[in-house]
Amino acid sequence: MRLAGGWAIALAAVLVLSLVLAPPTSAPGAVVAGGDASSTPLPTPGSSYADGDLPEIPHWPPQAGGGAAAADARRQPLPAETVDALSAALDRARRAYGLSVLGLGVRIGDGSFTAVSGLARDGITPLGGDSPFGIASITKTFTASIVLQLVEEGSLSLDDEVAPLLPDVSIPAGVTVEQLLSHTSGIADLLTPMRAPMKADPARIWTAPEVLARLGPPRFAPGTDYAYSNSNYVVLGLLVERITGQAFADELSRRLLEPLGLDATGVLTAAGAPPLMTPSWASAFGTSGFMYSSVGDMLDWSDALYGGHVLRRASLARMLSFGEDGYGLGAQRIELGGLTGYGHSGLLQSFTSLLVRMPDEDVTIALVGSWQGFEPSALLTRRVDGQPAILDLALGAAGVPLPTATPVS
């Protein structure tokens, strides 16, 4: 499939650099060379949450007063002193890492802070808490949630073998739904075989079967090891479409975005989507990384998902059951400044992202930056010029003692 319709507008905007974020600059501590790596998980071992000991998180009913109204009710401002301190820390962090744009969302109880440091590519247009960013592999939390809803509805089982359900796609025998969700299928990642084709034809729109057909041999037998692979979630997206008979974007909107009032969230392959990524990259990574959102919506999504308004309690417990690899079923265990939370990280083309919920502290942080040469956890804990780090301020506002592991620079 070639460029057409809404993609023509999107690509043109990318090429003329009119709406999206500013051009890349060098940054200290870059984790990836070349500026086009796929998302990688934070490799921290973790414990599991049992069904009976999931933390209680304040949240809103997704249908109360309408989705958008309910979401807006969650965005009460933090005290002015905290807002000013976080704004200053955000600007310091962006400059220290040489980033063009850095977006931050912090939620403490029912209070929120959202802001963006930096300007759009035109150098004039300000950005804010509702501005869209590519969220890369945070997409996986949405894909996993839909799959787990289908399991709850009885349309799927975690133990189902995938190959018979997708007979027209080459899936290794024995791979199960749960193994796709947990990255234990052994299916090779798509980045290596797709990197050159995506760069060579940035206007091309790839289908999931085309991408999966280019994969190399499996890395290991299903269920015998762990290896993070975007391909797993591309297969899961196909599975959602096969089971529901609907396009993934339509199911995403119907099940999650509309009822939760996530108005600044969507898929980059849709007509009218913000031109944040070239069509080739967005379509190739598909349901593993093709979504966009704002830091405000990311906070709302975290509250809804981890607060129990998306999945049943048992399903959420399975999602947050982390093995030694630190991955559950679409969620990661995340260590941040000596504290433990969960969520997901992302890294794709020009965007680095992190969404982390620290339940014991009742703090949620959403971070998105362009370009990608930084490690989110290091940025959040870095004390620039001896000033408080973003995490310091968030925990201080929550009344939590500061972690001793926070580095000083």
Q: What is the DSSP string of 318-382?
A: HHTB--TTSB-SS-EEEEETTEEEEEEEEEETTEEEEEEEETTTTEEEEEEEES--S-HHHHHH-
H or E stretch covering 239: helix 230-244
Cα–Cα distances in angstroms (integers) from residue 131 to residues 212, 319, 404, 407, in the given order = 32, 29, 34, 30
Are 356 and 341 contacting, i.e. CB atoms less than 8 angstroms apart? yes
pLDDT 10s digit of each residue in the chain, 409 long? 333 333 333 333 333 223 344 333 322 222 222 233 433 333 333 344 444 444 443 333 343 334 445 555 567 889 999 999 999 999 999 999 999 999 999 999 989 999 999 988 777 888 899 999 999 999 999 999 999 999 999 999 999 999 999 999 999 999 999 999 999 999 999 999 999 999 999 999 999 999 999 999 999 999 999 999 999 999 999 999 999 999 999 999 999 999 999 999 999 999 999 999 999 999 999 999 999 999 999 999 999 999 999 999 999 999 999 989 999 999 999 999 999 999 999 999 889 999 999 999 999 999 999 865 689 999 999 999 999 999 999 999 999 987 654 455 5
| Nearest CA-CA partner of 57 in 9, 107, 13, 94 | 107
Are 97 and 85 contacting, i.e. CB atoms less than 8 angstroms apart? no
Euclidean distance between CA atoms 368 and 103, whole angstroms? 5
Number of domains in the chain: 1
Residue 54 backbone class (left: φ over 0; alpha: ψ -120 to 50; beta: rest): beta
CA angle 299, 145, 262 (to 5 degrees): 40
Provide the token pair at 89. Answer: 């820390």
pLDDT of residue 48: 45
H or E stretch covering 378: helix 376-381
In a domain, 16, yes or no: no
CATH number, domain containing residue 165: 3.40.710.10
In a domain, 47, yes or no: yes
By residue range, what is the domain housing residue 207?
Answer: 28-397
Are 27 and 98 contacting, i.e. CB atoms less than 8 angstroms apart? yes
In a domain, 378, yes or no: yes
Could you count the other beta carbons within 10 Å of the beta carbon of residue 324? 10
In a domain, 409, yes or no: no
Pairing of strands 101-108, 111-117: antiparallel
In a domain, 7, yes or no: no
In a domain, 406, yes or no: no
In a domain, 67, yes or no: yes
In a domain, 15, yes or no: no
Euclidean distance between CA atoms 1 and 15, whole angstroms? 20
Q: What is the pTM of this model?
A: 0.85
